[in-house]
């Protein structure tokens, strides 16, 4: 409730209860063109997200993936709790599209849950490289849900990325593990998350989106975790809390990075997460990526970089022509 002015306070000797004014919708902060700062932030985010993934793999040896995801989203919700309190200056639950926000939160949860499930059986470098095919799924989904046109060259880039996935997974050989589908499903869920983020862009504050994601994920996990419950040790709880803090920090830093630079500028640097998880995977688990994982990752990263390059060209065309995009964009 807005406090009365000094004049009105002197006129009214008795204070009458007044209805609280609903907090206004939080407006998204203005963007600033500072690409170097955005690059530094995206590099920092890959460190946090990489450490979160490696810790989740470590915990997967003792806890079910659902329980790990439950701890992660519970910590996420606790961190976002100030934005859930109606009288808090950070209150962010007022949304123009709450249904879409919750659907996005469910997709984010699915991405996390399937990825953690895959980590139990796969080397972390292999799972992470496969998971980076999400931009390829975004290309396809943006046609249906965003009405975007995708030209021949971007479809070719998508095909190259999928070839990279096949190189890593090697279906039909003894190296193939059925759990390899988990990172692919995770990437698809993450692509859905990104598409819905675009649909909310310009209408919803990032804090609102993160708050709804934390609530949705925590509620779904609280309903599922009793069916797979394993009593965690204090050691497990501490690592689970670290996962929640690191993943939340990584997500928030990504949001900050996009305030300072376009996705096409930041995309090349997001792939450094593959480097961190490969190094940590070798140090902690003794996992060294084989040559097929390295070759497949090169295909996937190259495809993603070219897709980001074409996205930058499309935006420049849109600004220059203010009309139809090139059919080959």
Mean of pLDDT over the chain: 80
What pLDDT shows up at residue 28? 55
pLDDT at 23 over 60: no
Higher pLDDT, 6 or 251: 251
Torsion over CA: 199, 201, 202, 206 (sign): positive
User: What would the two tokens of residue 67 be?
Assistant: 């329980």
Quickly state the pLDDT bin for 18 (edges 50, 70, 90). very low
**Tens of pLDDT, residues 228-241:** 999 999 999 999 99
DSSP, residue by residue, 72-126: HHHHHHHHHGGGG-TTSTT-----S-HHHHHHHHHHHHHHHHHHHHHHTTS-HHH
Cα angle 312-315-319, degrees, rounded to a multiple of 5: 140
Question: What is residue 246's three-state secondary structure?
Answer: helix
User: pTM, whole model, 2 decimals?
Assistant: 0.79
What pLDDT shows up at residue 245? 94
Which position has the token pair 């100030």? 82
Q: Compute how many other C-beta atoms are within 10 angstroms of the C-beta atom of residue 69.
A: 29
Which position has the token pair 């699915």? 110
**Own/partner long-range contacts of 56-59 (Cβ < 8 Å, ≥24 apart):** 56/115, 56/116, 56/119, 56/243, 57/119, 57/120, 57/124, 57/281, 57/285, 58/239, 58/284, 58/285, 59/236, 59/239, 59/240, 59/243
Higher pLDDT, 228 or 257: 228
Q: How far apart are CA 140 and CA 294, in angstroms?
A: 25
How would you class 292 by CB atoms within 10 Å of its CB: exposed for 0-12, middle for 13-18, buried for 19 or more?
middle
Which range has the top average pLDDT, 27-41, 155-169, 225-239, 281-295? Answer: 225-239
Q: How far apart are CA 127 and CA 147, in angstroms?
A: 31
How many percent of the chain have pLDDT more than 70?
81
What pLDDT shows up at residue 289? 83
**Tens of pLDDT, residues 87-126:** 888 888 888 899 999 999 999 999 999 999 999 888 888 8
């Amino acid at each position: 409730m807005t406090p009365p002015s000094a004049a009105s306070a002197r006129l009214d000797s008795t204070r009458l209860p007044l209805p609280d004014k609903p907090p206004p919708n939080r407006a998204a902060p203005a963007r600033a063109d500072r690409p170097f700062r955005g690059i530094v932030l995206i590099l920092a985010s890959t460190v946090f997200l990489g450490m979160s993934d490696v810790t989740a793999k470590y915990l997967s040896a003792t806890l079910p993936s659902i329980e790990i995801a439950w701890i992660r989203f519970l910590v996420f919700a606790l961190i976002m709790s100030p934005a859930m309190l109606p009288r808090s200056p950070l209150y962010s639950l007022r949304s123009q599209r709450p249904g879409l926000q919750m659907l996005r939160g469910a997709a984010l949860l699915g991405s996390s849950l399937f990825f953690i499930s895959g980590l139990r059986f796969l080397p972390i470098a292999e799972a992470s490289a496969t998971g980076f095919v999400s931009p390829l799924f975004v290309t396809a989904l943006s046609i249906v849900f965003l009405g975007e046109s995708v030209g021949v060259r971007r479809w070719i880039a998508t095909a190259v990325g999928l070839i990279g996935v096949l190189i890593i997974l090697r279906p039909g050989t003894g190296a193939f593990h059925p759990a390899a589908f988990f990172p692919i499903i995770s990437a698809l869920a993450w692509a859905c998350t990104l598409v819905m983020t675009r649909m909310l862009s310009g209408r919803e504050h990032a804090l609102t989106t993160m708050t709804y994601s934390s609530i949705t994920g925590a509620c779904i996990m609280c309903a599922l975790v009793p069916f797979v419950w394993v009593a965690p040790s204090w050691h497990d709880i501490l690592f689970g809390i670290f996962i929640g803090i690191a993943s939340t920090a990584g997500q928030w830093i990504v949001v900050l990075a996009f305030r300072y630079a376009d996705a096409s500028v930041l995309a090349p640097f997001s792939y450094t997460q593959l480097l961190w998880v490969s190094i940590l995977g070798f140090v902690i688990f003794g996992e060294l990526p084989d040559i097929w994982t390295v070759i497949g990752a090169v295909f996937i990263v190259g495809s993603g970089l070219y897709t980001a390059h074409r996205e930058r060209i499309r935006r420049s065309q849109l600004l220059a022509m203010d009309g139809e995009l090139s059919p080959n964009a």
